[in-house]
């Protein structure tokens, strides 16, 4: 398995984000084990210490837990916690930047809102 790593960010942070995405999309279900450090290191051809660092950040963030002799597991409530955090991040960081871009383009915010509602109805 290969992946293209971005040179603008440390690999452990990119790996952490990959695991977060998989928790959020349900690929790594709550209560289930995530792939071992050795397995991930072999699959992505990266140093096992890089994987361990990414996993440790997820443990520190309360998303994974170590079970001695068994590996790392997704904690209960991890997906809900991530969703809440991502919603907050979107509202605080991304939405204001989006609104600023709309204004810079001289667009009518109501028309943009109508388009967003139409997109939401299609989903």
Which CATH number fits the domain that encloses residue 63?
A: 1.10.10.10
Tally the C-alpha atoms within 13 A of residue 42's C-alpha that lie toward its C-beta. 5
Whether residue 6 is contained in a domain is answered as: no
Backbone phi, psi, residue 17, to 5° = -65, -35
Work out how many domains the chain is built from and give that number.
Answer: 2
Residues 17/5, Cβ–Cβ less than 8 Å: no
Instruction: Choose among 74, 40, 41, 35: nearest CA to 58.
Output: 74
Whether residue 35 is found in the same domain as residue 54? yes
Condensed to tens digits (0 to 9), the pLDDT of residues 32-65 reads 999 999 999 999 999 999 999 999 999 999 999 9
Whether residue 4 is contained in a domain is answered as: no
CA–CA distance, 19 with 36 (Å, rounded to integer):
12
Whether residue 3 is contained in a domain is answered as: no
Prediction pTM value = 0.77
Condensed to tens digits (0 to 9), the pLDDT of residues 59-104 reads 999 999 999 999 999 999 999 999 999 899 999 999 999 999 999 9
Backbone phi, psi, residue 27, to 5° = -65, -35
Whether residue 71 is found in the same domain as residue 91? no
Whether residue 15 is found in the same domain as residue 72? yes
Whether residue 57 is found in the same domain as residue 94? no
Whether residue 5 is contained in a domain is answered as: no
CA–CA distance, 73 with 59 (Å, rounded to integer):
9
Whether residue 19 is found in the same domain as residue 66? yes
User: Could you tell me how far CA 11 lies from the centroid of its own chain?
Assistant: 14
Q: Which domain holds residue 86?
A: 79-122
CA–CA distance, 97 with 93 (Å, rounded to integer):
7
Q: What is the pLDDT of residue 4?
A: 87
């Amino acid at each position: 398995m290969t992946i293209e790593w971005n040179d603008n960010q440390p690999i452990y942070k990119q790996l952490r984000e990959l695991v977060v995405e998989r928790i959020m999309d349900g690929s790594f279900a709550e209560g289930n084990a995530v792939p071992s450090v050795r397995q991930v290191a072999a699959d992505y051809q990266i140093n096992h210490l890089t994987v361990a660092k990414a996993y440790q950040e997820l443990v520190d963030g309360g998303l994974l837990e170590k079970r001695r002799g068994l590996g790392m597991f997704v904690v209960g409530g991890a997906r809900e916690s991530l969703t809440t955090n991502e919603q907050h991040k979107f509202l605080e960081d991304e939405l204001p930047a989006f609104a600023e871009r709309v204004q810079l383009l001289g667009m009518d915010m109501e028309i943009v809102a109508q388009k967003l509602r139409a997109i939401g109805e299609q989903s």
